[in-house]
A and B are shown apart, each in its own frame.
Chain A
C-alpha cells in the first residue's frame, strides 16, 4: 500500500501544491479586512473550483500520467502486490478527499455562507460515486479505460454543479423559496454522500476479491 501511495504522490505533486496554495489563499482572504475580501473572492472562487476539480479527479490524472508511454508496464513490474496497489489507490483517494474538505472548509471560512456545505456535500457524494463506478472495473480492466473515466467523472459533476450547486446558490442569494425543492437542495446531498461512501467501500471489497484474476496490461 505504501509503495502505491508514494507512486501516486510522486505523480500528483502539482495537485497538492494547488490544493495547499488554495487553502493558504483562502485563509489569508479570511483574515483580510471585509472591504478587500470581495476583490480577492472573485479570483479565489475560480481557484477553489479548479482546485476541487483537480483533487476530486486526481485518480484519473494519475492514471493518465502512468499510461503515457505505457509507463504503467514499468511501474507494475516493480515489487508490489496487486492488493497493495489497490489499497494504495483507495487510501490515496481518501487523502485527496481530506484535502478537498480542507479546501472547502477554508473557503467557507472566507465566504461564510453555510448553505454551500450542501452544495459541496453533493459534489463530493457524486465524485465518490463516479470514482467508485470507475474503480468497479479496476480489477478487470486496470488502466485501460481512463478516457471513459473522464466522461464518467465530467458529465455527472458538471450536471451536479449546474443543476444543484448553482440553483442552491441562486435560491439562497436571491432569498427565494422553491416550493417542494427542500428535499432536493438540502436532504439529497446527505443521501448522495452516504451512497457514495457505501459504493466506495463496496467496490473496494469487490476489487479485493478479483484483483489477482485478470491481466494488468
Chain B
C-alpha cells in the first residue's frame, strides 16, 4: 500500500521539464529520493504539496484528494524545505502560536522539547539563528503535529555530522514507535545507505530507477579489470565505464557474466548509492576515456 502514488506527472516550466514521473512511496517505509542539484527533486515535492500544478498526471497522497482535502492532507504531512523558508522576524515561541492555528494536532510541548534537545534558542528571532539551527527548527516543526507522512527535502545538507547522526536515529525511532512514512530527498546519499528502504533516482526531470535498496545493491556492482579485457562486448555490459593505462572500471548488472568469463582477472565490488548515481550520470554524459 502506498502513501504517495504519482502517475504520469508532466510539467513544463520553460527551461526545465518533468517527464512522465511515476513514483510509489510505500506506506510505513523510508524512501530516499536522490538526484544531483537541479534534477527535479524539490519540484516533484512541490507538486505533492499542491504548491505547483501539474500539466498532466495524477498525484494521490494518503488516499486523499489533493485539492478537495488539502487541509486534512497537509495536517498529515510534516515538511522540511530544502532552503530556509521560515519567517525571519518571529521567535520560535511566537511561530508556535501561529502554527497552533493551522495544525489540528499541534503539540507545543513536543515542539519545545525538540527545540531543547536540538539546542535551538526559542526566544531568539529566526533571522538570528544559524543555518543549522533553522534546519533543526524546521525539523522540530515537522515532528510536532503527529504527521503520518514526513517529506524531508534535503534536511541534512546544512547540519553538522553529529546532529545528522542524531536526526537519523530520531527518524529510525519514529519508524519503530509510530506508523509513519518518510520521503527523504537528498544528495548526501550516505544518509540513505543507513536508513532507507527504497531508493528512487531522478535526473533531468525523469525517473531513472525506483528500487528496494537491497535489490539495488544486488543488481549493480562495480567491475574493474585490465584494459586488455575491454572489448566491444564487455563495453556493452558496462555502465559509465572509464578506462586508462591502469585498466577499466564501470558499473554492471551482468557482473556474474564478467566473473564467469574472466574469473580472478576482474574485481567485483559492492557499490554505494553515490557510486551508482555517479556511473549512471557518466553513462548519460557519454564519458569514456579518462
Contact = CB atoms under 8 A, between A and B. Distances in A.
A64 to B, nearest CB: 13
B131 to A, nearest CB: 13
Nearest to A214: B53
Contact of A74 (B52, B71, B85): B85
Interface stretch (A79-87, A116-124, A152-160, A178-186): A79-87
B72 to A, nearest CB: 8
A10 B84 CA distance: 20
Contact of B51 (A2, A7, A215): A215
Interface in A62-109: 68-71, 73-82, 84
Interface stretch (B94-102, B220-228, B234-242, B247-255): B94-102
Interface string B33-48: 0000000000000100
Interface residues of A, number: 26
B75 interface: yes
**Size band of the interface chain B makes with A:** 20 to 34
B83 A70 contact: yes
Contacts, number: 71
B242 to A, nearest CB: 40
Interface in B98-151: 98-99, 101-104
A15 to B, nearest CB: 15
Contacts of B52: 215-217
A10 B98 contact: yes
Interface-central residue, A2, A79, A84, A213, by most chain B CB under 10 Å = A79
Interface in B54-96: 67, 70-75, 79, 81, 83-88
Nearest to B90: A10
Nearest to B49: A77
B98 A6 contact: yes
Contacts of B46: 217
Nearest to B99: A78
A57 to B, nearest CB: 20
Interface-central residue, B67, B79, B81, B101, by most chain A CB under 10 Å = B101
Interface of B: 46, 49-53, 67, 70-75, 79, 81, 83-88, 98-99, 101-104
